[in-house]
Amino acid sequence: MSGHSKWASIKHKKAAADAQRGRVFTKVIREISTAARIGGGDALSNPRLRTAIATAKASNMPAENIERAIKKGTGDLPGVTYEEATYEAYGPGGVAILIETLSDNKNRTIAELRHITHKYAGNMAEAGSVAWMFDLKGVIRVDVSKADEDELLEQVLEAGAEDMEIEGDFFEITTSAHDLESVKEALEAAGIDLESAEQAQVPKTLVPVSGKETSQLLRLMNHLEDQDDVQKIWANFDIPDEELDAAQE
């Protein structure tokens, strides 16, 4: 289990604490408003908005908060306009990191990202120096306790998915970015309970990380994740499971 999969598992473990602090709400509200501004307020015809609403509901966000965020995005209520930007960085051990942001002040955002990466043994990179190391894919996660492996594999391949693997406590299903929505809908129609479904930057190659660099990298990733303007982070690290477990204790 490595790169995208390991970071997804780490985020899953800390999600409850983040939700209690309201951090999840802040990020999801920005995503809902941006999705509604770009693609309209009808979730049925706006896959990005539909995904954001599903994330909000999974985080127990009140329905009125969701509706308010949509209306701010469509202009029916006054609100802040957030700009999307992706930044590139290197972490300890030469790990490549992509940082997706939604911000109302890009100068503030980049200054804070530079501060965080420098503090935790990383550095910001030039545009294009990291992005080529990743492929945009669809990634769907299903709790292993909620589906039979053989039956799920048959369903995902029939729906047009590229691959399925067991990653920790989840089946991780990979699709092309284009086919994500159709595979997601096919699984939902089959009654499969999805943990998450998103477009993800999946690393083409992996960078082994161990020893001191493990704790440095995880501190960097966690502090980037906790920055309010940051929506998603992707990295190409490969940390041995025993070191990962020890670093999180």
Q: How does residue 3 score in pLDDT terms, banded at 50, 70 and 90?
A: very low
Per residue in 223-242, pLDDT tens?
999 899 999 999 999 887 77
Q: How does residue 245 score in pLDDT terms, banded at 50, 70 and 90?
A: low
CATH superfamily, domain 15-74, is Integrase, N-terminal zinc-binding domain (1.10.10.200)
Is pLDDT at 91 greater than 70 in this prediction?
Answer: yes
Starting at the edge strand that comes first in sequence, how are the strands of the sheet with 96-103 ordered? 123-124, 83-90, 96-103, 230-235
Residue 247, CA distances (Å) to 10, 91, 107, 108, 206 in order: 11, 16, 33, 31, 19
Is pLDDT at 8 greater than 70 in this prediction?
Answer: no
pLDDT of residue 90: 97
Q: Average pLDDT, whole number, for the chain?
A: 88
Per residue in 191-229, pLDDT tens?
999 888 889 999 999 999 988 898 899 999 989 998 999
pLDDT of residue 58: 80
Q: Same CATH topology for 83-132+205-248 and 134-203?
A: yes
CATH number of the domain located at residue range(s) 134-203 in this protein = 3.30.70.980
Q: How does residue 2 score in pLDDT terms, banded at 50, 70 and 90?
A: very low
Tell me the C-alpha distance between 77 and 70, whole Å: 9
pLDDT of residue 167: 83
Q: How does residue 1 score in pLDDT terms, banded at 50, 70 and 90?
A: very low
- Give domain limits for the chain: 15-74, 83-132+205-248, 134-203
Q: How does residue 14 score in pLDDT terms, banded at 50, 70 and 90?
A: low
Q: How does residue 53 score in pLDDT terms, banded at 50, 70 and 90?
A: very high
Tell me the C-alpha distance between 118 and 123, whole Å: 5
| Of 221, 248, 249, residue with least CA distance to 99 | 221
Domain 83-132+205-248 is in which class?
A: alpha beta
pTM of the model: 0.86
- State what percent of residues in the chain have pLDDT above 90: 68
What is the mean predicted confidence (pLDDT) over 105-127?
A: 96
Say how far residue 180 (Cα) sits from the centre of its chain.
14
Tell me the C-alpha distance between 221 and 234, whole Å: 9
Given the structure tokens 């935790």, which residue do they identify? Answer: 120
Cβ-contact 171, 9 below 8 angstroms: no
pLDDT of residue 9: 61
Tell me the C-alpha distance between 18 and 49, whole Å: 22
Please give the biggest Cα pair distance in the chain. 52
pLDDT of residue 239: 83
